[in-house]
Amino acid sequence: MSQLPDLICPAGSLPALKAAVDNGADAVYLGYKNDTNARNFAGLNFDAKTMAEGIRYARAKGREVLLAINTFAQAGRVADWQKAVDAAVDQGVDAIILADVGLLDYARNRHPQQRLHLSVQGSATSYEAINFCQREFGVRRAVLPRVLTLAQVEHVIKNTTVEIEVFGFGSLCVMNEGRCWLSSYACGESPNTVGACSPAKYVKWDKQPGAMETRLNGVLIDRFGDDEPAGYPTLCKGRFEVQGETYYALEEPTSLNVLPILPEIIKIGVRAIKVEGRQRSPAYVTQVTRTLRAALDSLRDGSERFHVKPAWQAELAKVSEGSQATLGAYNRPWR
Amino acid sequence: MNANFTIPKFRLPAFVASLGHKLPQWPHALALVAGLNAALKMKLLPERELELLEDKLFRVRINDTGGEASYTYRDGMFRPVFRPTREPDLAFAANLSAYLQLLARQEDPDTLFFNRELEITGDTELGLIVKNMLDAVEWPRLPRLPLASH
Ligand code: SF4
């Protein structure tokens, strides 16, 4: 049995950070209150003061704090991103999660001692790309995009000494992570430019008799009947008319959940499992962290006896988008 | 709040709702506003985000009691609005149990939203600001807030 992977949980606020730490996260990841991170939503994230308190809280319980600066430096404002890196180093975070190659280069040269992780937004799906980042920028861990099958993840791990982190639970971002511009198509803004897919100011929930309509900058994304579960207002999870039929042409509102394949993930040597959801509340962080902690701990002494408890699945299904979960790309037959 | 105490999902019978409609609306509004102002006084709410609430009209509707409260934020205080003359900027509608679960941090608003137990209409960005603001609050003793007793 390989070593248990670290459980990496999201923190959009101080109470969420504490919830993650209290419920068994090995590390939390967070971001600054600005567009240097990919969850740049009003009222979310940390300033220097709350971050200092968060770091103190996590450290006191022996947990790590990872800071995501995972958007791409925009032309004319590169200094803003560099300043964020400097500030993170000053605050003493355990690692900085970066996506922008220019920023990786900056961090490596300016702060050679700082541990760097390659963000999922860096979109490295092959060991060649990951080893390049190791050679050039000293990257110690890479977060894999949610597009690889389990066999492909294993192939990457066999061919690199960089630690590999994969997503274990959360909303799915299905399309070529780090490269998706669908949101820009409707409203001119997308994750890599402003740090948010479907920024809230363009989103409209419209209650009609018997249904609720979701629009992004006027574009109708979906219409939910009163008893139908809902999802986030992203274009990839909209219902579209394709050749006369209206359906979820790209992806249904659903969340990724790897519980059923947890033993395999551990066996192939995944170093860390990440939970998505910095935009979610402390209640979600509590529920998901607690559940995954219990599942991981049950594997501590050998995976042979691993059962996915119905209570775990029920807890995770409840907080899922569209109230349903999938194994995503991990078990897709095609590549 | 005792961590082992969980609020079950429940729905009050329809006759309670029809009763609620006949009652004056001001007690709800006053209780809600008193709770929010108590949080203000304890400096629990971040100033930067509060500014964004200035003059916005909010409506909270409790489906299964038929209760409804409108309020606004002006000059550093939350104030009840007894006879709103326009559509709210942001409106919430849910059963009482859903609100209690939210207040106790037992359920996440996105979860309730996905499951269609919480309805949010109006200005989505404002909704996000309010949600994130309340999430970031470190409630010192939740049960003591006037809000939690209603
Ligand atoms: S549209 Fe979907 S796939 Fe594209 S960035 Fe948004 S969530 Fe991800």
Of B66 and A90, the one with more pLDDT? A90
- What does the pLDDT read at residue A111? 98
Residues on chain A touching B46 (C-beta within 8 angstroms): 43
- Cβ contact B111–A283 (<8 Å): yes
Residue A158 pLDDT exceeds 90 = yes
Pocket residue to mutate for ligand 1, from A123, A179, A189, A197, most atoms within 8 A of Cβ: A197
What value does the mean pLDDT take over residues B95-119? 85
Interface of B with A (CB under 8 A): 46, 49, 52, 102, 105-111, 113-116, 119-122, 124-125, 127-133, 135-138
Within a domain: residue B150? no
- What does the pLDDT read at residue B144? 44
Number of domains observed in the structure of chain B = 1
Residue A269 pLDDT exceeds 50 = yes
Alpha carbon distance B130, A44 (integer Å):
10
Atom of ligand 1 nearest to the CA of A181: 4
Residues on chain B touching A318 (C-beta within 8 angstroms): 111, 115
Of A123 and A330, the one with more pLDDT? A123
Could you tell me how many CB contacts below 8 A there are between chain A and chain B? 101
Residue B99 pLDDT exceeds 50 = yes
Within a domain: residue B25? no
Of A181 and A113, the one with more pLDDT? A113
Residue A38 pLDDT exceeds 80 = no
pLDDT tens digits, residue range B47-91? 778 888 999 999 988 888 888 888 999 998 999 888 889 999 999
A226 CB near a chain B CB, below 8 Å? yes
Which value, to the nearest 10 degrees, does the dihedral of the CA atoms of residues A20, A309, B99, B58 take? 60
Q: What CATH architecture is A6-172+254-331?
A: Alpha-Beta Barrel (3.20)
Q: Specify the residue with its C-alpha closest to ligand 1, atom 5.
A: A180
Of A173 and A129, the one with more pLDDT? A129
Candidate from B49, B127, B136 with C-beta closest to A15: B136
Range with the largest mean pLDDT of A12-16, A35-39, A71-75, B10-14: A12-16
Within a domain: residue B44? yes
Q: What percentage of chain A exceeds 90 in pLDDT? A: 52
What value does the mean pLDDT take over residues A228-233? 81
Of B138 and A240, the one with more pLDDT? A240
CATH number of the domain encompassing residue B70: 3.30.1050.10
Residue B31 pLDDT exceeds 80 = no
Residue A265 pLDDT exceeds 80 = yes
Decide: A175 in ligand 1 pocket, CB within 6 A.
Answer: yes
Atom of ligand 1 nearest to the CA of A190: 5
Range with the largest mean pLDDT of A108-117, A189-198, B17-26: A108-117
Within a domain: residue B1? no
Atom of ligand 1 nearest to the CA of A235: 1
- Cβ contact A44–B119 (<8 Å): no
CATH 3.20.20.60 placement within chain A: 6-172+254-331
- C-alpha of residue A184 to centroid of ligand 1, in Å: 10
Binned at pLDDT 50, 70 and 90, residue A176 comes out as low
Decide: A120 in ligand 1 pocket, CB within 6 A.
Answer: no
- What does the pLDDT read at residue B73? 93
- 3-state SS string over chain A? CCCCCEEEEECCCHHHHHHHHHCCCCEEEECECCCCCCCCCCCCCECHHHHHHHHHHHHHCCCEEEEEECCCCCCCCHHHHHHHHHHHHHHCCCEEEECCHHHHHHHHHHCCCCCEEECHHHCCCCHHHHHHHHHHHCCCEEECCCCCCHHHHHHHHHCCCCEEEEEEEEECCCCCCCCCCHHHHHHCCCHHHHCCCCCHHHEEEEEECCEEEEEECCEEEEEEECCCCCCCCCHHHCCEEECCEEECCCCCCCEEECHHHHHHHHHCCCCEEEECCCCCCHHHHHHHHHHHHHHHHCCCCCHHHCCCCHHHHHHHHHCCHHHCEECHHHHCCCC
- The interface residues of chain A toward chain B in range 19-78, judged by CB-CB distance below 8 A, are 41-44, 50
A235, A205 Cβ separation under 8 angstroms? no
Candidate from B119, B124, B137 with C-beta closest to A204: B124
Decide: A221 in ligand 1 pocket, CB within 6 A.
Answer: no
- What does the pLDDT read at residue A332? 67
Domain that holds residue B97: 34-136
Partners of A30 in the beta sheet? Answer: A67
Atom of ligand 1 nearest to the CA of A173: 8
Mutation target vs B (from A45, A53, A205, A228; most B CBs, 10 A cutoff): A205
Predicted TM-score (pTM) of the model is 0.85
Range with the largest mean pLDDT of A61-75, A131-145, A232-246, A318-332: A131-145
Decide: A197 in ligand 1 pocket, CB within 6 A.
Answer: yes
